[in-house]
């Protein structure tokens, strides 16, 4: 009876460890005292383990060093396989006596509550009293003074795989600043929920901006770790310098694996559907059409007061909310389309953009100057205005995507 109690106790202990996505070393140390069926279960557990959860791999690198961390609300260590219980990376490392000197915050801020485009100011984190350095607004690149005294910078941000999602631009400037000061960068990798495809026009150098900094398509299909390797390998940093880089890969991840984000990567991407539609619907940000900011279905609907009600029967009225203090068409009735029940995309969808353009009251007022920055080329606007179909437009991307695919392949960490 004592033996059974002992075995059951051990089994319960291991199952708790599995559910907490514990480190590989802990699992392997206990395998020798388990029943065969439990050993098999441990070995066959193929749950995603993000880089931040693999503390046994990176704590030895951090010990005894003065650390800067690029982080936001997604920078967590998960305590369950599903990921809904977690501790923030900064809080966890401080508890482990890692010497964190400062936190660098990208767009939306350290706690991820700021609107898109809202200026984030430097300050102190209330919980930890650590200095927060904003990497959004005028100061997109860490200064020499802000990096002074650091031995290593950790980058841990959940990305969604779109060129105009500014976290990869922040990655570029962090790597560049660190390379110039000879400070290594350690990336704790996370899955890309849109990592199963790449698509779109290649950004042209003339249209480089913070929403498009590299010659890549709209959707790049890479994790942050893979993307950092490409920045280095293609020598995209200033003066072609390269950053001393190390990546802690995601365990059990591949590019065709569906991955549901447990934490919103930004205020206006509330769920899996919005993240999947975001690369296609974000083009509306460069038009007089709303992509749903100011509603609870951001980037899952679109519409404007200028679309006709015969073609667009769905209606909504944007109001200020946690993701948009002053949304486009605030308190005005918009006619549009509800995409919440559409199938997940495996490619960019231009049909909605073209349909909206063809059915707006005044086509001359449809596009604004931001559209070309989002597209990375003036050609997409010209093609839509000329009446080209989705298939005709996409045919013009083929050569660029083929070349990018070959470049991308050199830096992939995952199948």
Relative to beta strand 66-71, strand 99-105 is parallel
Q: Are 380 and 207 in contact (CB under 8 A)?
A: no
Q: Which residue has the tokens 């890309």?
A: 192
Ramachandran category for residue 157: left, alpha or beta (phi over 0 → left; psi -120 to 50 → alpha): beta
Q: Are 167 and 174 in contact (CB under 8 A)?
A: no
Where would I find the beta strands (DSSP E) of 115-253?
123-124, 131-134, 152-156, 185-188, 245-248
Rounded to an integer, the average pLDDT of 50-64 is 98
Q: Which two tokens stand for residue 116?
A: 């898109």
Alpha-carbon dihedral sign for residues 41, 46, 47, 50 = positive
* Residue 199: C-alpha distances to residues 44, 196, 214, 277, 397 (Å): 34, 10, 15, 13, 8
Rounded to an integer, the average pLDDT of 100-107 is 93
Write the pLDDT tens digit of every residue in 18-48: 334 433 333 323 322 334 443 344 345 789 9
Instruction: Quote the mean pLDDT of the chain.
Output: 89
Write the pLDDT tens digit of every residue in 281-313: 999 999 999 999 999 999 999 999 999 999 999
Question: What do you get for the CA distance between the two ends of the chain, in Å?
Answer: 48
Residue 382 to residue 356: CA distance in whole angstroms: 15
Q: What is the side-by-side strand order in the sheet with 334-338?
A: 301-304, 334-338, 314-316
Largest CA distance in the chain: 82
Which residue did the predictor score with more confidence, 53 or 43? 53
Residue 77 to residue 70: CA distance in whole angstroms: 15
| Residue 305, Cβ density class (10 Å: 0-12 exposed, 13-18 middle, ≥19 buried) | middle
Ramachandran category for residue 156: left, alpha or beta (phi over 0 → left; psi -120 to 50 → alpha): beta
Comparing 33-47, 55-69, 111-125, which segment has the lowest mean pLDDT? 33-47
Q: Which residue has the tokens 């073609």?
A: 311
User: Cβ of 265: how many Cβ atoms within 10 Å?
Assistant: 24
Write the pLDDT tens digit of every residue in 158-184: 999 999 999 999 999 999 999 999 999
* Residue 203: C-alpha distances to residues 158, 197, 279, 380, 408 (Å): 23, 17, 14, 11, 15
| Start-end of H helices in 207-323 | 224-233, 272-281
* Predicted pLDDT at 117: 47
Alpha-carbon dihedral sign for residues 359, 361, 362, 365 = negative
Inform me whether the pLDDT recorded for 399 exceeds 80.
yes
Give 281's contacts (C-beta < 8 A, 6+ positions apart).
Answer: 291, 292, 299, 300, 302, 339, 352
Rounded to an integer, the average pLDDT of 331-342 is 98
* Predicted pLDDT at 121: 57
* Predicted pLDDT at 41: 41
User: Cβ of 299: how many Cβ atoms within 10 Å?
Assistant: 26
* Predicted pLDDT at 23: 36
Question: What confidence category does residue 82 fall into, taking pLDDT thresholds of 50, 70 and 90?
Answer: confident
Inform me whether the pLDDT recorded for 366 exceeds 60.
yes
95-51-106 Cα angle (round to 5): 80
Inform me whether the pLDDT recorded for 263 exceeds 70.
yes
| Residue 370, Cβ density class (10 Å: 0-12 exposed, 13-18 middle, ≥19 buried) | middle
Inform me whether the pLDDT recorded for 202 exceeds 70.
yes
Write the pLDDT tens digit of every residue in 376-387: 999 999 999 999
Rounded to an integer, the average pLDDT of 264-292 is 97
* Predicted pLDDT at 110: 81
Percent helix, percent strand, percent coil in the chain, to nearest 5: 35, 15, 50
* Predicted pLDDT at 32: 29
* Predicted pLDDT at 107: 81
Rounded to an integer, the average pLDDT of 234-249 is 98
Relative to beta strand 152-156, strand 123-124 is unpaired
Write the pLDDT tens digit of every residue in 135-164: 988 889 999 999 999 999 999 999 999 999
């Amino acid at each position: 009876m004592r033996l059974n109690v002992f075995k059951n106790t051990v089994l319960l202990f291991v199952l708790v460890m599995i559910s907490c996505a514990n480190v590989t070393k802990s699992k392997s140390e206990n395998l020798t005292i388990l029943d065969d069926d439990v050993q098999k279960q441990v070995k066959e557990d193929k749950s995603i383990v993000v880089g931040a959860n693999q503390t046994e791999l990176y704590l030895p690198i951090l010990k005894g060093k003065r650390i800067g961390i690029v982080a936001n609300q997604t920078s967590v260590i998960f305590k369950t396989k599903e990921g809904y219980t977690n501790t923030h990376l900064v809080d966890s490392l401080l508890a482990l006596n890692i010497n964190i000197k400062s936190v660098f915050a990208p767009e939306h801020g350290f706690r991820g509550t700021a609107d898109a485009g809202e200026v984030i100011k430097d300050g102190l984190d209330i919980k930890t009293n650590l200095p927060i350095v904003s990497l959004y607004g005028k100061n997109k690149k860490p200064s020499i003074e802000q990096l002074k005294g650091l031995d290593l910078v950790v980058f841990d941000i959940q990305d969604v795989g779109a060129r105009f999602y500014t976290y990869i631009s922040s990655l570029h400037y962090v790597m560049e600043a660190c390379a110039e000061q000879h400070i290594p960068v350690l990336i704790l990798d996370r899955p890309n929920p849109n990592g199963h495809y790449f698509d779109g026009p290649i950004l042209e150098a003339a249209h480089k901006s913070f929403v498009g900094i590299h010659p890549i398509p709209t959707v790049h299909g890479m994790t942050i770790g893979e993307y950092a390797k490409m920045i280095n390998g293609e020598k995209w940093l200033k003066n072609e310098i390269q950053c001393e880089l190390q990546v802690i890969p995601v365990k059990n991840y591949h590019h065709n694996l569906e991955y549901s984000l447990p934490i919103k990567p930004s205020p206006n991407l509330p769920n899996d559907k919005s993240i999947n539609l975001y690369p296609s619907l974000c083009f509306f940000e460069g038009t007089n059409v709303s992509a749903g900011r100011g509603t609870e279905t951001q980037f899952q609907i679109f519409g404007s007061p200028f679309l006709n009600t015969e073609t667009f029967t769905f209606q909504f009225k944007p109001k200020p909310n946690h993701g948009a203090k002053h949304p486009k068409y605030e308190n005005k009735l918009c006619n549009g389309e509800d995409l919440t029940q559409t199938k997940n995309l495996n490619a960019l969808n231009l049909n909605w953009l073209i349909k909206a353009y063809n059915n707006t009251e005044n086509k001359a007022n449809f596009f604004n100057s931001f559209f070309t920055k989002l597209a990375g080329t003036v050609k997409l606007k010209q093609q839509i205005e000329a009446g080209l179909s989705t298939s005709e437009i996409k045919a013009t991307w083929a050569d660029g995507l083929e070349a990018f695919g070959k470049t991308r392949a050199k830096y992939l960490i995952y199948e």
